[in-house]
Amino acid sequence: MGDSVGVQIVVLTSSDDNVAAVNSILREGGHASHCHRLDDQNELPELLAGQPRSQPLDLLLLFADESRFDVAAVARLLARREQAPPLLLARERVDEQSIADAMECGARDVVSLTHRNRLLAVIERELQAHRLRLTLDKLLSSANSYKQELRELMAGASDAIVDIQEGIIVAANPAWLALLGHPEDADLTGEPFMDLFRKSDRPGLKGALVACLKDKWQGDALHVVAHQADGNELPLDIRLEKVSIDGEPAVRVLVPMDSNAEKTPTELLESAVCKDPSTGFYHRHYFLQELETRLAQPLGGGVRAMVYIRPDNFARVHKDIGLLATEALLLRLAELLREFMQPTDLYGRFGGTMFVALLERGTMSDVEAWAEGLRKAVAEQVFEVEQQSTTLTCTIGLVEVDQELHEPAALLVEAEKACRQGREAGGNRVQLARISTGSTSIRQADALWVPRLRHALMKNRLRLVHQPVTSLNEEIEGVFDTRVRLLDEQDELILPSEFMPAAERNGLVKNIDRWVIGASFSFCAAKRPNLVFVRLSRDSLIDDTLFDWLQARLQNTRVRPAQICFQVMEEVVSQHLKHAKSVAGQLRSAGFLFAVDHLGTGRDSQQVLKHVPMDYVKIDGSLMQGLHRNPENQRLVGQLATLAREQQIHTIAERVEDANTMAVLWQLGIAHIQGNYSQMHGVVLEDTQTIRGLNARTGSA
């Protein structure tokens, strides 16, 4: 082992020959040694104190057979010093007992000049160990300095910051203490982090912490309500990031400083003009402007709905708490409403006690489930205002945006009318607008859509859209849910909600299913995804020719059956249980996978899980609406997830739209998710030539 720096050794001996021998052994071993003889151990403290930092002492070799030296005293001297060099004893005889005695006294080992190879090996070992200790000490010192700098930075940060390990607070900066109303000298270290938050928020918060530690959190804000020191509640949007504390993983929770501090005066003025100062909701005029802009934009998928929310019997509440407290009460109500809103929602205060919102959800069932969850939350909430308590109920009017009803004014009129009908019926309810669609308009719609659908099937004017399915508690990649769109005369994509009702009424849905299956085979052959979910309608499920058609179609493709998972709605499966079990068995025997989607809305969801053979189950998106505020739905989703795991069925949560929902699903053990939160739709326009070629080889769909 060479050493370009040189080995600094102090040799305690009265003999120059001993020093020369040690020098010789080290040089033969390839070390540029610098040996300093010391024959009086009383000079050792001064020598140690005067050694330069650039050339610290590497080793102390004491010839213990010389009676002038007190080995124990030298060992005690070294023990009192930081970064002291190791002590070796040199004797004529070396045996196990002498080594044990030396180590008990404080020496590292015993060597002899007569065993030159061993002496060199021991010195090299001790040199390496000592230098590693010095390096480690430097690293620890640097780490401690860095930690101190971080503490100072954390203490001086304007953002409220708290660090958590295994659910326990390990650090909280002054801004966090101030945010929750604790005195500056308060110490939250060692306190359970969950205890700081409302009980209903804890499942989602726990799931978010676990997801963050597993690098699954995407950095989105989580909306929670914290308990302040004085007992009041404080709504917060918190952000999570994974950090390391003392070499162990931890989660840092941040509440960013008020963004208004960074806004320009112009931006602040614009915000003040556009938003109600009490609630933070858009003013009526600005909401209408944004509503018109939003409705002019094409919908990527799902449905839009106008919502009209109004508290019931507000005059009674006014009388209970007084005029001055009513605005504070509306502020509390607005905070509750905001908890139910998703990032894409547009919402405003329409004047007085009226609130409006434009929602985008997967289905109208999702909208109704969202509204019912909000209604229930308002009814169960005890509102604390100026040391007074009161309760509220509200009525929610809903109307779907469609081709016939899409003007802002008309939508608001219908939503308000629905709300009024609900209030007249007793209030505390969700009321869906009753818009008459007579048989004449249905016939007119069919007369329009049927020729267009037949033309689209003949001319390949249908297209596939693929939404990714992403991992949550189980790893997954390259998995997509398949949707169909119609390409109109202007090459614009039309949603299935526009044309599928006419297709179902006129017996065309089976033809569309087969087009989708053929196009999905083409997609799998070209793009090679791991798995693609393809829907089967009721007509296809009960079609006895489907399986033979699939087998013939598959023979002339490069597609593995395991790349395709056919899915059928729970409602259809329940209505045709025997047929569904048979079809699922046939498909799985051929290598395809089978799934039931929209599970959880029927009366026999658990029976479907138990009796229908399947590989995946998709839990209905209506159960995801306001999931973080709905313990009943959490229990249902958790039960379905547990039952599915017991039967080795993979779970997928449908239509997941926000971070709070994802966090709860993580805690409930859901394997995968799909929806706008996991990823915006990836549009895949199928290569028409490829599909035509496939059709030519295997027969037209």
Beta-carbon contacts of residue 562 (< 8 Å; ≥ 6 apart): 531, 591, 592, 593
Secondary structure of 547-584 in the HEC alphabet? HHHHHHHHHCCCCCHHHEEEEEEHHHHHHCHHHHHHHH
Share of the chain above pLDDT 70, in %: 88
C-alpha–C-alpha distance, residues 27 and 31, integer Å: 5
Q: What is the CATH number of domain 278-432?
A: 3.30.70.270
Contact present, 616 and 588 (Cβ < 8 Å): no
Would you state the pLDDT for residue 682?
36
C-alpha–C-alpha distance, residues 339 and 235, integer Å: 9
Would you state the pLDDT for residue 678?
64
Cα distances from 478 to residues 121, 336, 554, 614, in angstroms, run 57, 38, 21, 20
CATH architecture of 157-258: 2-Layer Sandwich (3.30)
C-alpha–C-alpha distance, residues 500 and 565, integer Å: 21
Amino acid at 292: E
| pLDDT, mean of residues 296-325 | 85
Q: Is the pLDDT of residue 570 over 50?
A: yes
Q: How confident is the model at residue 260 (pLDDT cuts 50, 70, 90)?
A: very low
Share of the chain above pLDDT 90, in %: 55
What is the end-to-end Cα distance of the chain in Å, rounded? 77
Contact present, 415 and 422 (Cβ < 8 Å): no
CATH top-level class for 3-140? alpha beta
351, 367, 333: which is closest to 624 by C-alpha?
Answer: 367
The dihedrals phi and psi of 222, each to the nearest 5 degrees, come to -110, 125
Secondary structure of 327-356 in the HEC alphabet? HHHHHHHHHHHHHHCCCCCEEEEEECCEEE
**What's the topology of domain 456-696?**
TIM Barrel (3.20.20)
Contact present, 18 and 24 (Cβ < 8 Å): no
Q: Which of 22-31, 437-446, 614-623 has the lowest mean pLDDT?
A: 437-446
C-alpha–C-alpha distance, residues 627 and 662, integer Å: 9
Read off the tokens for 480.
């997509």
Amino acid at 264: T
For 151-175, the pLDDT digits (tens) are 555 555 678 899 999 999 998 988 8
Q: Is the pLDDT of residue 435 over 70?
A: no
Torsion of CA 525, 527, 531, 535, to 10 degrees: -70
Chain CA centroid to CA 334, Å? 26
Q: Return the domain boundaries, the chain.
A: 3-140, 157-258, 278-432, 456-696
User: Going along 394-487, which residue ranges are E strands?
Assistant: 394-400, 430-432, 462-471, 479-487
Burial (CB count within 10 angstroms: exposed 0-12, middle 13-18, buried 19+), residue 452: middle
Q: Is the pLDDT of residue 184 over 90?
A: no
Read off the tokens for 513.
């299913």
| pLDDT, mean of residues 467-489 | 92
Beta-carbon contacts of residue 589 (< 8 Å; ≥ 6 apart): none
Q: Which of 159-168, 323-332, 471-480, 552-561 has the lowest mean pLDDT?
A: 323-332
Indicate the pTM of the whole model. Answer: 0.71
C-alpha–C-alpha distance, residues 512 and 64, integer Å: 97
Would you state the pLDDT for residue 157?
61
Contact present, 360 and 295 (Cβ < 8 Å): no
Would you state the pLDDT for residue 322?
75
For 5-36, the pLDDT digits (tens) are 578 899 999 999 999 999 999 988 888 888 88
CB hemisphere CA count around 456 (13 angstroms): 27
User: Going along 76-188, which residue ranges are E strands?
Assistant: 87-90, 109-111, 160-165, 168-172
Contact present, 29 and 1 (Cβ < 8 Å): yes
Beta-carbon contacts of residue 670 (< 8 Å; ≥ 6 apart): 472, 473, 619, 637, 641, 651, 652, 653
